[in-house]
C-alpha cells in the first residue's frame, strides 16, 4: 500500500491560514462564515444532532423522522472490541438512491458519531473507526429515496474509549 503525500499542501495551508487571520481581524463575525465555506458551500454541520444524548433524539434532530429496520442495510463491526478507542465500523447498502449514511453509538455520551453525505455517483459504502464508551448498540441509518432504513448490532467493549 502506498500513500501519496502532497508537498505543496504546506504552502496552501499557509495561504489559508493567512486568509483566516485577515477575516478574523478585519471583518469579525465573517470568520464564522469563512470556516464552513471552506469545507462545503451548502452543507451545514448538524450541530444540534451531535449535541443530542439519546440515539432516538439524535436521529430525530438529524433527519426529522424515524427509520424502519431493513436487511438492505449492512453493518460490519467486530462482536467484541478489545479497545473501545478504535473500533472499525463499516456500513453498506444495496438500496438505490442513497443520499446519506449515519452511524449512532447508543451508549456514548452523544449518540451520533458520524454522518456521511453520499452524492449521486458515490457508492453507498463507507468504512471508518469510532470510539465506544462501553458495550453498546450501534445503529446504522441509510437515507434512500427520502426514507430512512436502519440496522443495529451490539458490540461488546472490553476497555472503553471515551476516557473517564
What is the binding site for other proteins (CB under 8 A)? 1-10, 12-13, 16, 20, 31, 35-36, 38-40, 43, 45-46, 50, 85-87, 90, 105, 108-110, 112-119, 121-123, 125-132, 161-164
Residue where the block lists cell 449535541: 51
> Which residue number, 80 or 123, has a Cβ lying nearer to other proteins?
123
- Taking the C-alpha atoms of residue 17 and residue 95, their distance in angstroms, rounded to an integer, is 41
Name every residue whose Cβ is closer than 8 Å to that of residue 78 and which is 6 or more positions away in sequence: 87, 88, 155
Query: Closest Cα to residue 23, out of 33, 9, 14?
Result: 33
Instruction: Tell me how far, at minimum, the Cβ of 20 lies from other proteins, in Å.
Output: 7
Question: Which grid cell is 119?
Answer: 452524492
Instruction: Tell me how far, at minimum, the Cβ of 28 lies from other proteins, in Å.
Output: 14
Instruction: Tell me how far, at minimum, the Cβ of 59 lies from other proteins, in Å.
Output: 14
> Which residue number, 72 or 133, has a Cβ lying nearer to other proteins?
133
Amino acid at each position: 500500500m502506498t500513500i501519496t503525500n502532497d508537498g505543496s499542501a504546506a504552502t496552501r495551508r499557509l495561504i489559508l491560514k493567512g486568509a483566516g487571520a485577515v477575516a478574523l481581524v478585519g471583518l469579525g463575525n465573517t470568520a464564522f462564515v469563512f470556516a464552513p465555506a471552506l469545507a462545503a458551500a451548502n452543507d451545514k454541520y448538524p450541530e444540534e444532532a451531535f449535541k443530542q444524548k439519546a440515539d432516538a433524539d439524535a436521529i430525530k434532530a438529524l433527519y426529522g423522522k424515524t427509520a424502519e429496520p431493513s436487511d438492505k442495510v449492512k453493518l460490519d463491526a467486530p462482536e467484541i472490541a478489545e479497545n473501545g478507542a478504535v473500533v472499525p465500523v463499516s456500513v453498506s447498502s444495496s438500496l438505490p438512491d442513497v443520499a446519506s449514511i449515519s452511524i449512532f453509538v447508543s451508549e456514548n455520551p452523544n449518540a451520533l458519531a458520524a454522518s456521511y453525505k453520499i452524492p449521486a455517483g458515490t457508492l453507498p459504502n463507507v468504512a471508518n473507526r469510532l470510539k465506544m464508551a462501553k458495550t453498546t448498540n450501534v445503529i446504522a441509518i441509510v437515507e434512500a429515496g427520502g426514507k430512512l432504513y436502519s440496522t443495529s448490532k451490539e458490540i461488546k467493549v472490553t476497555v472503553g474509549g471515551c476516557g473517564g
